Amino acid sequence: MTPITQLHPNGEAPPAERLPDSQPLYRQLADHYRRAIGSGVLRPGDRMPSMRAFMQRHGVSLATATESYRVLERDALIDARPRAGYFVRVPPAAGLPAAAEPDLAVPPGAAQFVGIHSVISSIVSTFQRYPDALNLGGATASPDLYPTEALQKAALRALRRRPTLLTAAGHDQGDPELRAVIARRALDAGIHIGADDLIMTHGGIEAVNLALRAVTQPGDTVAVESPCFFGLLQALESLGLRALEIPASPSTGLAIDALAFALQTHPDIKAVVAVPNLQNPLGTVMPDAHKARLVELCAQAGVALIEDDPYRELADAAQPPKSLKAWDTDGTVIHCTSFNKTLAPGMRVGWINGGRWHPRIGMLKFAQSRHNEQLSQVVLGEFLATNAYERHLRRLRDRLRIQRERMAAAIATSFPDGTRFTPPGGGMFFWIGLPRGTSSAALFEAALKEGIRIMPGTVFSNSGRFDHFIRLSCPSTDMDLADEAVRKLGRLAGRIAM
């Protein structure tokens, strides 16, 4: 057995003196790692050595290695993760209560024209004054979590295979091969469609804009989740639409009863927009029963249901959750999504299945921007034709989960009393409720001066009711840097909350 006294953070044991041999070997090894975890040499979320590495490092049999890990697992010091190995357990975020549920007894207010552009513009221009700030405010993962090299190789293959890719015009609806792959993959989301039912778009945001334009006229009312993605509020504002904010629960998403009431009291609602999987900013995955009810409710009311679904494949569940579209029987659901969060933010490839508005959306897309650039689509078609995407998704989910666990532990120990959050069901966001009265705008400014970028809650609603919330995202693979930034933010929030 390799002698053991001290571990490096990656779990490697450098040569050192032997421990007394009074206990069985598997126990000595378990104790060795227990001390490393206890002293912080191995930290929550760190990967433990693989079984093979453990056996080689300590010169022990598989039975001894397995038994050591069994002891550590039993003592809740490490967790096994399917297909990923063993990790130092992240203690549950003790001390922080779950986010408060919305008060559904309050009837929805009047639908309002959105006035969010100026708030967002001011945030963006403030960001620009601090270009080097660590970005905890974004909505994509760090570039090194995406398969840069594999996509570059796919691009070269695509250009060789299709020499006129850059010079010949493409199909109006987008590349047929990519659409065929997407239609096959849609089966996993519970959606049965053909390639011709899809139109490729410039990211998910163009899909949402097209959907809104297809089903509304300026001045109409659209029911949205509250809080919701600020890009949706910007889209509503730019199209002259009114937003009716429907409360969303941090545990189940859009409150269906509140929506049912709103549909009765506001006959002018022309569309409902929902993010059922990993809602932005809540990180909630809507339970299946709610998804079924939501689709049924909109179908009965004759109101378009715009499903904005870019995060589904980042959910933690063993089986990715289903899309609302899986329950659609009459074309009520317009399904919008993209590869910008899951695979390639730089390529901006999205798509839309327009339900019964498919022909109108095709016409609007043609009038607005013609077909999308071909190169990105063909590259993604190449990449998706193999199982590289599945492998990448598994790795990305794993890395994001490790980052989230580390961040959750840092938030729990460094934010002021009265802070609340519900751990998300996957993805990259934390929606954090600061003690009431704490200004997220003030924290945003103070954090930027310390070199940290966050998203203040002010942009996720037209109502001002989330001004004491912030959205943090897992940004980079440098978890020590992120840890330090979160702790600094916690201290700043504590000062502002006083």
Ligand X SMILES: Cc1ncc(COP(=O)(O)O)c(C=O)c1O
Six-digit token pair at 420? Answer: 């609340």
Q: Report the residue number, 54 or 229, with the smaller CB distance to ligand X.
A: 229
Q: Report the residue number, 7 or 352, with the smaller CB distance to ligand X.
A: 352
Q: Report the residue number, 28 or 372, with the smaller CB distance to ligand X.
A: 372
Options 350, 381, 423, 475; binder of ligand X; rule CB under 6 A: 350
CB 415 within 8 A of CB 490: yes
**Nearest distance from C-beta of residue 460 to ligand X, angstroms:** 11
**Nearest distance from C-beta of residue 340 to ligand X, angstroms:** 4
Strand partners, 245: 224
Options 234, 280, 332, 372; binder of ligand X; rule CB under 6 A: 280
**Nearest distance from C-beta of residue 385 to ligand X, angstroms:** 22
Q: Report the residue number, 298 or 306, with the smaller CB distance to ligand X.
A: 306
Which H or E run contains 399? helix 388-414
Closest to 283 (Cα-Cα) out of 307, 235, 249: 249
**Nearest distance from C-beta of residue 343 to ligand X, angstroms:** 11
**Nearest distance from C-beta of residue 351 to ligand X, angstroms:** 10
Q: Report the residue number, 204 or 423, with the smaller CB distance to ligand X.
A: 204
HEC profile of 327-394? HCCCCCEEEEEECCCCCCCCCCEEEEECHHHHHHHHHHHHHHHCCCCHHHHHHHHHHHCCCHHHHHHH
User: Which string of x and - marks every residue 294-323 that binds ligand X (by CB under 6 A)?
Assistant: --------------x-x-------------
**Nearest distance from C-beta of residue 231 to ligand X, angstroms:** 5
| Centroid of chain to Cα 249 | 17
Q: Report the residue number, 147 or 310, with the smaller CB distance to ligand X.
A: 310
Strand partners, 175: none
Measured at the CA of 48, the angle between CA 44 and CA 49, to 5 degrees, comes to 165
Q: Report the residue number, 354 or 490, with the smaller CB distance to ligand X.
A: 354
Distance separating alpha carbons of residues 276 and 283, to the nearest angstrom: 9
User: Rule CB under 6 A: which of 1-40 touch ligand X?
Assistant: none
**Nearest distance from C-beta of residue 338 to ligand X, angstroms:** 3
The residue assigned the tokens 């929506």 is 259
Options 142, 216, 249, 340; binder of ligand X; rule CB under 6 A: 340
Residue nearest to ligand X (CB): 203
Q: Report the residue number, 64 or 280, with the smaller CB distance to ligand X.
A: 280
The residue assigned the tokens 């970028």 is 453
The three-class DSSP label of residue 480 is helix
Distance separating alpha carbons of residues 401 and 425, to the nearest angstrom: 10
Six-digit token pair at 477? Answer: 């693979």
**Nearest distance from C-beta of residue 308 to ligand X, angstroms:** 4
Q: Are strands 112-113 and 242-249 parallel, antiparallel or unpaired?
A: antiparallel
Q: Report the residue number, 177 or 308, with the smaller CB distance to ligand X.
A: 308
139 lines the binding site for ligand X (CB under 6 A): yes
**Nearest distance from C-beta of residue 174 to ligand X, angstroms:** 14
Distance separating alpha carbons of residues 181 and 194, to the nearest angstrom: 10
User: Rule CB under 6 A: which of 157-216 touch ligand X?
Assistant: 203-205
With contacts defined by CB under 6 A, how many residues of the chain interact with ligand X? 13
CB-CB neighbours of 54 under 10 Å: 22
**Nearest distance from C-beta of residue 279 to ligand X, angstroms:** 7
User: Which string of x and - marks every residue 216-255 that binds ligand X (by CB under 6 A)?
Assistant: -------------x-x------------------------
Distance separating alpha carbons of residues 479 and 489, to the nearest angstrom: 15
338 lines the binding site for ligand X (CB under 6 A): yes
User: Rule CB under 6 A: which of 55-84 touch ligand X?
Assistant: none
Q: Report the residue number, 231 or 426, with the smaller CB distance to ligand X.
A: 231
Q: Which region holds residue 5: left if phi is over 0, alpha if psi is between -120 and 50, else beta? A: alpha
User: Rule CB under 6 A: which of 88-127 touch ligand X?
Assistant: none
Closest to 178 (Cα-Cα) out of 427, 371, 331: 371
**Nearest distance from C-beta of residue 353 to ligand X, angstroms:** 15
**Nearest distance from C-beta of residue 140 to ligand X, angstroms:** 7
Six-digit token pair at 414? Answer: 């460094």
146 lines the binding site for ligand X (CB under 6 A): no
Q: Report the residue number, 191 or 314, with the smaller CB distance to ligand X.
A: 314
Provide DSSP, 254-277: E-HHHHHHHHHH-TTEEEEEE--B
Q: Report the residue number, 86 or 351, with the smaller CB distance to ligand X.
A: 351
Q: Which region holds residue 247: left if phi is over 0, alpha if psi is between -120 and 50, else beta? A: beta
424 lines the binding site for ligand X (CB under 6 A): no
Q: Which residues of the shown chain bind ligand X in the complex (CB under 6 A)?
A: 139, 203-205, 229, 231, 275, 280, 308, 310, 338, 340, 350
